Amino acid sequence: MKKLLQINPVIKENTSTGKIMRTLGELAQAAGWESYVAYSRARDGVPPHSSRLVPVGNKADLLLHWVATRLFDAHGLASRLATRRFVARLRELNPDVIHIHNIHGYFLNYKILSRALAQMGKPVVWTVHDCWLYTGHCYHYASAGCERWKTGCHHCPQKKAFPASWLLDRSRRNWKDKKKAFCSIPGLTLVTVSRWMKGEIAQSFLGRVRCEVIHNGINLDTFRPSPSAETALAYGTYYLAVASIWLPEKGLQDLEKLSSVLDADERLVVVGKRPSGHRFPRNVVCLERTADAAALAVLYTEAVALVNPTWQDNYPTVNMEAIACGTPVVSYRTGGSPESITPRTGRVVEQGDVEGLAEALHAIRRQGKEHFSEACRSYALAHFRAQDRFNDYIQLYESLTTG
Domain co-membership, 239 together with 162: no
Domain co-membership, 13 together with 139: yes
Residue 261 within a domain = yes
Domain co-membership, 213 together with 243: no
Average pLDDT of the chain is: 95
Q: Which domain holds residue 68?
A: 3-217+387-401
Phi-psi region of 277 (alpha: psi -120 to 50; beta: other; left: phi over 0): left
Helix, strand, coil content of the chain in percent (nearest 5): 40, 15, 40
Give yes or no for residue 390 having a pLDDT over 90: yes
Domain co-membership, 252 together with 264: yes
Domain co-membership, 102 together with 28: yes
pLDDT for 16:
81
Asked if residue 100 lies in contact with residue 126, where contact means CB atoms within 8 angstroms, the answer is yes
259 CA to centre of own chain:
27
> In sequence order, what are the residues at sequence separation of 6 or more whose Cβ sits closer than 8 angstroms to the Cβ of residue 230?
none
pLDDT for 46:
64
pLDDT for 403:
63
Domain co-membership, 391 together with 380: no
Residue 37 within a domain = yes
Q: If DSSP codes are grouped into helix, strand and coil, which group holds residue 210?
A: strand
> Which class for 86: exposed (0-12), middle (13-18), buried (19 or more C-beta within 10 A)?
buried
- Phi then psi dihedrals of residue 326, to 5 deg: 85, 20
Q: Helices 354-367 and 370-383, interaxial angle, to 10°?
A: 110
Can you tell me the distance from the alpha carbon of 70 to that of 67, in angstroms, rounded to the nearest whole number? 5
| pLDDT confidence bin for 278, thresholds 50/70/90 | confident
CATH number for the domain harbouring residue 20? 3.40.50.2000
If you average pLDDT over residues 84-100, what whole number do you get? Answer: 98
pLDDT for 384:
97
Domain co-membership, 107 together with 165: yes
Residue 44 within a domain = yes
pLDDT digits (tens, 9 = 90+) for 131-188: 999 999 999 999 899 999 999 999 999 999 999 999 999 999 999 999 999 999 999 9
Give yes or no for residue 229 having a pLDDT over 90: no
**What is the DSSP secondary-structure string of 135-196?**
SSS-S--GGGT--GGGT---S-TTTTSSS--SS---HHHHHHHHHHHHTT-TTEEEEESSHH
Give yes or no for residue 286 having a pLDDT over 70: yes
Can you tell me the distance from the alpha carbon of 331 to that of 341, in angstroms, rounded to the nearest whole number? 8
For the sheet containing 306-308, what is the strand order? 284-287, 266-273, 237-245, 306-308, 329-332, 346-349
Residue 224 within a domain = no
pLDDT digits (tens, 9 = 90+) for 319-374: 999 999 999 999 999 999 999 999 999 999 999 999 999 999 999 999 999 999 99
Residue 327 within a domain = yes
Domain co-membership, 163 together with 193: yes
> Which class for 357: exposed (0-12), middle (13-18), buried (19 or more C-beta within 10 A)?
buried
Domain co-membership, 53 together with 201: yes
pLDDT above 70 covers a percentage of the chain that reads: 98
Q: Is the pTM of this model over 0.85?
A: yes
Give yes or no for residue 201 having a pLDDT over 80: yes
Domain co-membership, 236 together with 296: yes
Residue 222 within a domain = no
156 vs 42, residue with greater confidence: 156
pLDDT for 45:
61
If you average pLDDT over residues 244-258, what whole number do you get? Answer: 94
Residue 302 within a domain = yes
| pLDDT confidence bin for 237, thresholds 50/70/90 | very high
If you average pLDDT over residues 375-390, what whole number do you get? Answer: 97
Domain co-membership, 156 together with 235: no
| pLDDT confidence bin for 276, thresholds 50/70/90 | confident
Classify strands 237-245 and 266-273 as parallel, antiparallel or unpaired.
parallel
The beta-carbon contacts of 39-42 under 8 Å, at least 24 apart in sequence, are 39/7, 39/8, 39/9, 39/10, 39/11, 40/9, 40/10, 40/105, 40/106, 40/107, 42/106, 42/107
CA-CA-CA-CA dihedral for 108, 111, 115, 118, to nearest 10 = 90
If you average pLDDT over residues 247-272, what whole number do you get? Answer: 95
Domain co-membership, 391 together with 370: no
Task: Give the residue ranges of DSSP H helices in 268-310.
Answer: 293-302
Q: Helices 16-30 and 386-401, interaxial angle, to 10°?
A: 60
Determine if the peptide bond prior to 163 is cis (ω within 30°): yes
Count: domains in the chain: 2
Can you tell me the distance from the alpha carbon of 321 to that of 2, in angstroms, rounded to the nearest whole number? 35
Residue 223 within a domain = no
| pLDDT confidence bin for 291, thresholds 50/70/90 | confident
pLDDT for 165:
97
pLDDT for 44:
60
